[in-house]
Chain A
Amino acid sequence: MSDDSGLWLLSLGPAGAAGLYWALYRFYRNTDKSHAFEHETAVEAKPVTGSDHKINEIKGTQQTRINGDNVRAYRKRVRRLRRRDPG
């Protein structure tokens, strides 16, 4: 322990209570469950193609991840491009 007194440890109690509450609530109610169709459907995919171009360099940011990281949030829809808009 340095002399930054470790008072932040006091937040462990409330955090533990809240964490346990939500964990048990979900264990009983299962509101977070749904069919994982991304992994449970038979999908035949051709190899993924694409391009990667370096466009910028960041120096000295404190953020650990890219802003707005959604690489694992498959179901969060982003702006739809409509290349063949019928209207």
Chain B
Amino acid sequence: MSRPDNSSAPEAAPTGPGSPRDVPPAPGSFPIDPETLPDPIRDEVLAPDPIAINTSAEELKDGLNRCPKCGSTEIRQKPGSDLLVCLYCRNEWHGQRVEEEFGLGTGLDDLEGTIIASGAQNIAADAASLMSFKCTGCGAEVTINTDNAMTARCHWCRHVFGVNEQVANGAVPDAVLPFHIKKDDAVARIRQFVDKRRMFALKEFKDEFTPENVIGVYLPYMIVDGKASVDVAGQGEIETRRYTRQNGKQKTTYYDADVYQVERHVDFTVDDLPLESSTERGNLDTAANTNNIINTILPFDTKNAVKWNASFLSGFSSEKRDRDVDHLHPRLEDQLLSIARAQIEKSVGRYDRGVRWDEEDVQVHGSRWVSMYLPVWLYSYQQPGRNGGMLHYIAVNGRTGETMGSVPVQQWKLLLAALTVGTFIEGFVITFLAFAS
């Protein structure tokens, strides 16, 4: 017999920097003081980051939402908001927020067991990718491929169809967070991001750079609430004395310290933790891909997500979820442990020589899972090379405008610049030594 509990998650843990293993550096930090760098490099590094501009998503104008007041389909998103407005009778309304609809914002403290929203259920093995509809307008057959789209338009009468029912079990999410950042805005941000990184960029990348090719994609996530307890145990040291001894010319510093056995416990809840629910997107191994770029533009204002309505997806691409709650549980526990360790850090400040945690444990008392589509503008560039090369992304958060990217580098240029600066420093040192002796 195989072990049913553990065999369900054969997922290799992502490693590389930017993976769940490494704490990322603070935003905007650069490991070297830019003032010490040559002017052109300093200017590039210090150039301003993309600024947030809030605009409407005009792309939603094709949506076939019906006005609850007059039934008209002439509906648009009101610029800069999640409101929908009827152009016929001027009625305005809000998409049903899942927060209120499912009671998601409340009761975190009372969570028990694993609560799974209907759209977050296990994906049925036979869930078809192709779904067909008969057009009520003209009788034509319209097919939607749910691997990359949730809407399609009838070629004959322009009627728009959407996968609005959760027919294929688990294949349709519970909620969607509509785009707020317009394409023009995303293009401007991507251009600004790359302008800041031109000097050492791969020549082919610069030649082929066309940010207008950016595409709006809804990516699948599980949004998780949880209630957990974490215990950790280890040793901490407090310095009691510090002294130096002269041994010939050599000065050596010695330390005395008290060693403590340290144990900590914390109970906590988390609200709206986002987890990638596609195997590919969840693989953050930076040696093999640049998915960490997309991960970095998290979080989203998931509190504003509205109940699933395919009309919001008109004009956008989408990716399908292929991970179920069971697969993602190890990832949830991992992140809960990291969150708890960050909470506990504040309580061990007196150990000025640091703490070494040796053991840790998490108990998840309860969790609540909602499947959601989140809006991302994606610009991609395929860098040729060994093993199929590398696919680089520049990603823009479709709500906040947060932008992050991976720009392929021209290795010889970068090496040359580094060696030049190194040689300059070396020359300075040699001159200094010559004078000092």
Contacts and interface: CB of A to CB of B under 8 A. Distances in A.
Interface of A: 1-7, 9-10, 12-14, 16-46, 48-84, 86-87
A36 B361 CA distance: 21
A43 B270 contact: yes
Given A18-B418, A66-B353, A69-B354, A32 B429 contact: no
Given A35-B299, A64-B255, A77-B334, A48 B347 contact: yes
Contacts of A73: 23
Contacts of A3: 249
B357 A51 contact: no
A35 to B, nearest CB: 4
B354 A66 contact: yes
B139 interface: no
B54 interface: no
Nearest to B339: A38
B262 A84 contact: no
Contact of A23 (B31, B232, B427): B31
B429 A10 contact: yes
Interface residues of B, number: 112
Name the residue in A10, A22, A60 with the highest tally of chain B Cβ atoms < 10 Å from its Cβ: A60
Which of B249, B346, B418, B437 lies at the interface centre, i.e. has the most chain A CB atoms within 10 A of its CB?
B418
B425 interface: yes
Contacts of A49: 264-266
Given A13-B426, A33-B296, A42-B272, A28 B200 contact: yes
A87 B4 CA distance: 11
B273 interface: yes
A69 B17 contact: no
B335 interface: yes
B156 interface: no
B45 interface: yes
Contacts of A25: 409, 414
Most buried by B among A5, A34, A66, A79: A34
A54 B351 CA distance: 12
B108 interface: yes
With a 10 A CB-CB cut-off, give which of A18, A36, A55 has the most chain B CB atoms. A36
A10 B361 CA distance: 48
B17 A32 contact: yes
B338 A37 contact: yes
Contacts of A82: 361
Given A20-B421, A34-B284, A48 B296 contact: no
B160 to A, nearest CB: 34
Given A21-B415, A35-B295, A57-B258, A28 B267 contact: no
A66 B260 CA distance: 11
Given A9-B429, A32-B17, A24 B259 contact: no
Contact of B422 (A13, A39, A46): A13
A49 B16 CA distance: 33
B261 to A, nearest CB: 5
A62 B255 contact: yes
A18 B406 CA distance: 20
Nearest to B105: A42
Contacts of B166: none
Contact of A46 (B266, B346, B419): B266
Contacts of B233: 81
Interface string B327-348: 0000000110111011111111
Contacts of B354: 65-66, 69, 71
A45 B267 contact: yes
B41 A24 contact: yes
Contact of A24 (B270, B418, B425): B418
B436 interface: yes
Given A27-B45, A71-B357, A79-B359, 10 more contacts: A9-B433, A23-B30, A30-B404, A35-B274, A35-B296, A35-B297, A54-B258, A65-B354, A71-B345, A74-B337
Nearest to B202: A28
A54 B253 CA distance: 24
A19 B425 contact: no
Nearest to B286: A31
Contacts of B37: 20
A12 B355 contact: no
